[in-house]
Amino acid sequence: MMLKKTLIFFTVAVLVGAFFFFDGSQYLSLDILKQWFAEDPLRTALVYFGLYILVAGLSLPGAAIITLLGGAVFGLWWGVLIVSFASSLGATIAFLVSRILLADTIYRKFGHYLEEINKGVERDGAFYLFSLRLIPAVPFVAINVVFGLTKIKTWTFYWVSQLGMLAGTCIYVNAGSQLGSIEEFNASSILTGPIIGAIVFLIIFPFVTRSLVNQYRYRKAYKPYTKPESFDANLVVVGAGSAGLVSAYIAAAVKAKVVLIEKYKMGGDCLNTGCVPSKALIKAAKTYSLIKTANDLGIENVSGEVNFPRVLKRIHKVIETIEPHDSVERYTTLGVECVQGEATLLSPYEVKVGERIIKTKNIIIASGARPFMPPIPGLDGVDPLTSDNLWEIEQSPGRLLIMGAGPIGCELAQSFQRLGVAVTIVDMAPRIMPREDGDVSEYMLKRFQLEGVRVLLNQKIVSFEKSDNGYLVHLLNNSGQQSIECDRVLVAVSRKANTDHLGLEKLGIEVTPQGTVVVDEYLRTRFPNIYACGDVAGPYQFTHTAAHQAWYASVNALFGKLKKFRVDYQVIPWATFTDPEVARVGLSETEAQEKSIEYEMTRYDIDDLDRAIVDNEAKGFVKVLTVKNSDRIIGCTIVGAHAGELITEFVTAMKHNIGLNKILGTIHIYPTMSEANKYVAGEWKRSTVSDRTLRWLERFHHWMR
């Protein structure tokens, strides 16, 4: 196999070198080919045919220009015949070279296409390739090389490519033949009906073919179902969490008839088991931490004692206070019909809840997600806590083992530790907060260890069992096996979308292995009147992202026939509400390096900030990534007090293309934490001024004296 790869690599290298060394492009000159064609049509066709295969097979640029050239030289019918076979053979050669030789290069160059294409091949097989060939939205070079990494058969790839590219070949060759017929380039010879028509066809072809392919898919999807003559609602929303509530609110605001179905409690996870109770716990823990450090501020004889039942009681009181914002009563007054029960989709137009069947024009699935329970032996026997049932406890959990060092696990670990619980975090990953950069993880790890949190990384939990003093947790790492004791176990490893019992499988609505519903850029499923948003759709599982998606889902559902909007994920911020907080928007350094994006990093340490020193919060840093030799921001991470608020300035800057120069030129109130944003911009500015410029400025000021 190694010899085979070497031979192929050597052959490709020789061919590419020969093409450029002998200036192969000179033989694709319109004048030369026309002259050859007049003298010897067969030889000209063979040379063109071979060069086209070479260009396509080696994935060289210029296939579209060569296709136009073929039409100009050979005319429409001969041009189509030659180009059709040459392009398909060249594409198949590129496909085979990719499959055998270039896996690493392809992943690096075309990796962003690969995931979607693999999903498409698994879902629709050869038809997916056909649709990509028919709709020239994805570069054909990328299709050739990326499909080499799929399991599609070579013969299937060839004939589907030949058939799929035929329509586009006809359009391009026809355009070339019309342009080739121009003898003198002036307005009267160019602005003729055939030439204008050829150019128009060339422009509208991608849009027409996309529409035709979509219509075929939709007709196929809807064929088994009968559309009702009338509907009970314009929109049915399944799930009353953040995504569902916002969807229903928007629909009601534009006077659509909307039915909101919730199986459990209005407000979803965020209100009842997620954001609200966890932040109330964090506030209690932060307050107790401040009491313990009051002596640092000159306040003596301050003491406090954690009354855990009262902490929990306040958490439930906070939930009760916020509940009216998301209540049935409020949404009913807004014009939303709220229905309690479990929803099942019977068809693209029918939703069953209890004994009632609601006929609806559109459906939004916003059923949220739930904690994932890993299949570890003995876990069921330890009465595990999750974010769902954690708030039902009445006493301190004693020795608490938290599975998972992601945002949820870290927030709860620090809070419980501060409230007197002996916390141990266990994770298989090599660091906590694995989505953040290594310096962020290391900073927060030291902070946790300073506060007494026991952190065990690179540890696999093998099993659980009961012991005389609680539970035994058996761990395995590279050094061997160990066991630790705990009183309670909190599972915070990941979340799984709530798609069970919705009837999606019967409708053929695809879900990912993680359980999220597969949607397109408009948040549509395979049925264009069924949408999904929030945690059930991914790719982000944040409350603010769910609300963001809900706007697109509801507007597209109600007004999509007039205007559709692609959901925008370009600027998505998030925060982990530890102390100090960790907030990020855009790229991290790790992600920029993985994507081979050149960047410059500027850092400002908050321990130098006046307000942070005054508030006894002199910890953390601001780290900004910018495009190389530019002030355009592509990412920002803030570790520090109120990072979740401070990051908003960078979110706004990225959203509206505001660079660090304008942040530096903006007045920030003194003394505030927000000055950190201005100071990091100042650090960037100082680092971008060259030594040569500074030397000239020094000479200028010396001369002025």
Cα 691–chain centre separation: 41
Residue 97: exposure state from Cβ atoms within 10 A (0-12, 13-18, ≥19): buried
Q: Is the pLDDT of residue 300 over 60?
A: yes
- Specify if 286 maps to a domain: no
Bridge partners of residue 482, in order along the sequence: 475
With contact defined as beta carbons under 8 Å apart, do 217 and 503 qualify?
no
pLDDT of residue 192: 45
Which tokens go with 346? 């019977």
pLDDT of residue 500: 87
With contact defined as beta carbons under 8 Å apart, do 451 and 414 qualify?
yes
Cα distances (Å, whole numbers) of residue 223 to 218, 345, 352, 362, 557: 8, 16, 21, 17, 20
Which tokens go with 436? 């953040």
With contact defined as beta carbons under 8 Å apart, do 689 and 629 qualify?
no
pLDDT in tens, 468-519: 889 999 999 888 899 999 999 999 998 899 998 899 999 999 888 778 999 9
Cα distances (Å, whole numbers) of residue 659 to 6, 399, 582, 643: 48, 48, 22, 19
Where do we find the tokens 């081979």?
596
Q: Is the pLDDT of residue 12 over 50?
A: no
Mean pLDDT value across residues 128-143: 67
Q: Is the pLDDT of residue 303 over 90?
A: no
Residue 157: exposure state from Cβ atoms within 10 A (0-12, 13-18, ≥19): buried
pLDDT of residue 66: 73
Residue 651 has a CB neighbour count (10 Å cut-off) of: 17
What DSSP string runs through 256-279? Answer: --EEEEESS-TTHHHHHTSHHHHH
Task: Mark whether 173 and 262 lie in a shared domain.
Answer: no
Task: Mark whether 442 and 465 lie in a shared domain.
Answer: yes
pLDDT in tens, 664-693: 999 999 999 999 999 999 999 988 877 777
Cα distances (Å, whole numbers) of residue 258 to 358, 363, 626: 11, 10, 44
Q: Give the H/E segment covering residue 456.
A: strand 454-456
Closest CA to 386 of 236, 258, 535, 492: 492
More confident residue, 523 or 538: 523
Q: Is the pLDDT of residue 585 over 60?
A: yes
Bridge partners of residue 530, in order along the sequence: 363
pLDDT of residue 148: 73
With contact defined as beta carbons under 8 Å apart, do 594 and 572 qualify?
no
pTM of this structure? 0.78
| Sign of the C-alpha dihedral computed for residues 304, 305, 311 and 317 taken in this order | negative
Identify the DSSP state of 393.
-
Q: Is the pLDDT of residue 313 over 60?
A: yes
| DSSP three-state, residue 637 | strand
Mean pLDDT value across residues 211-221: 75
Q: How confident is the model at residue 184 (pLDDT cuts 50, 70, 90)?
A: very low
Sheet strands (E) in 295-395 = 336-340, 343-347, 350-353, 356-365, 369-371
pLDDT of residue 190: 40
Task: Mark whether 331 and 410 lie in a shared domain.
Answer: no
Query: Residue 646 is part of which domain span?
Result: 573-691
pLDDT of residue 92: 86
The percentage of the chain sitting over the pLDDT mark of 70, rounded to a whole number, equals: 82
Task: Mark whether 397 and 504 lie in a shared domain.
Answer: no
If you average pLDDT over each of 562-566, 636-640, 701-705, which comes out highest?
636-640
Give a three-class secondary structure readout of 77-142. Answer: HHHHHHHHHHHHHHHHHHHHHHHHCCHHHHHHHHHHHHHHHHHHHHHHCHHHHHHHHHCCCCCHHH
Task: Mark whether 257 and 141 lie in a shared domain.
Answer: no
With contact defined as beta carbons under 8 Å apart, do 489 and 385 qualify?
yes
Mean pLDDT value across residues 250-258: 95
Q: Which residues contact 652 (CB under 8 A, 6 or more apart)?
A: 658
Residue 199: exposure state from Cβ atoms within 10 A (0-12, 13-18, ≥19): middle
Can you say whether residue 230 is alpha, beta or left, with left for phi > 0 and alpha for psi between -120 and 50 degrees?
beta
More confident residue, 532 or 133: 532
Task: Mark whether 452 and 518 lie in a shared domain.
Answer: no
Task: Mark whether 490 and 501 lie in a shared domain.
Answer: no
pLDDT in tens, 591-627: 999 888 999 999 999 999 999 999 999 999 999 999 9
| DSSP three-state, residue 356 | strand
Residue 658 to residue 696: CA distance in whole angstroms: 29
Task: Mark whether 544 and 421 lie in a shared domain.
Answer: no
Q: Is the peptide bond before 671 cis (omega within 30 degrees of 0)?
A: yes
Task: Mark whether 469 and 539 lie in a shared domain.
Answer: no
Task: Mark whether 581 and 671 lie in a shared domain.
Answer: yes
Mean pLDDT value across residues 270-298: 93
Mean pLDDT value across residues 101-126: 61
Q: Is the pLDDT of residue 326 over 50?
A: yes
pLDDT of residue 48: 76
What pairing do the DSSP bridges indicate for beta strands 573-576 and 581-586? antiparallel
- Specify if 29 maps to a domain: yes
- Specify if 698 maps to a domain: no
Domain count, the chain: 4
Closest CA to 364 of 507, 537, 232, 596: 537
- Specify if 226 maps to a domain: no
From 73-77, 326-330, 620-624, the region with the lowest mean pLDDT: 73-77
More confident residue, 412 or 55: 412
Q: Which residues contact 41 (CB under 8 A, 6 or more apart)?
A: none
Task: Mark whether 403 and 348 lie in a shared domain.
Answer: no
The percentage of the chain sitting over the pLDDT mark of 90, rounded to a whole number, equals: 57
- Specify if 703 maps to a domain: no
From 159-168, 401-410, 677-686, the region with the lowest mean pLDDT: 159-168
- Final residue belonging to a domain, choices 188, 216, 244: 216
CATH number of the CATH domain containing 416: 3.50.50.60
- Specify if 705 maps to a domain: no
Identify the DSSP state of 226.
P
CATH number of the CATH domain containing 638: 3.30.390.30
Which tokens go with 226? 């009968």
Sheet strands (E) in 564-698 = 573-576, 581-586, 599-605, 621-627, 633-640
Residue 411 to residue 578: CA distance in whole angstroms: 5
- Final residue belonging to a domain, choices 441, 476, 494: 494
Mean pLDDT value across residues 41-64: 74
Q: Is the pLDDT of residue 20 over 70?
A: no
pLDDT in tens, 342-371: 999 999 999 999 999 999 999 999 999 999
- Specify if 309 maps to a domain: no
From 128-132, 135-139, 540-544, 569-573, the region with the lowest mean pLDDT: 135-139
Residue 527 to residue 503: CA distance in whole angstroms: 14
pLDDT of residue 581: 97
With contact defined as beta carbons under 8 Å apart, do 130 and 163 qualify?
yes
pLDDT of residue 195: 47
pLDDT of residue 423: 97
Q: Is the pLDDT of residue 419 over 60?
A: yes
Task: Mark whether 414 and 346 lie in a shared domain.
Answer: no
Q: Which residues contact 648 (CB under 8 A, 6 or more apart)?
A: 573
Q: Is the pLDDT of residue 194 over 80?
A: no
Type of residue found at 575: A
- Specify if 542 maps to a domain: yes
- Final residue belonging to a domain, choices 518, 536, 559: 559
If you average pLDDT over each of 117-126, 138-147, 649-658, which comes out highest?
649-658
More confident residue, 265 or 194: 265
pLDDT of residue 44: 73
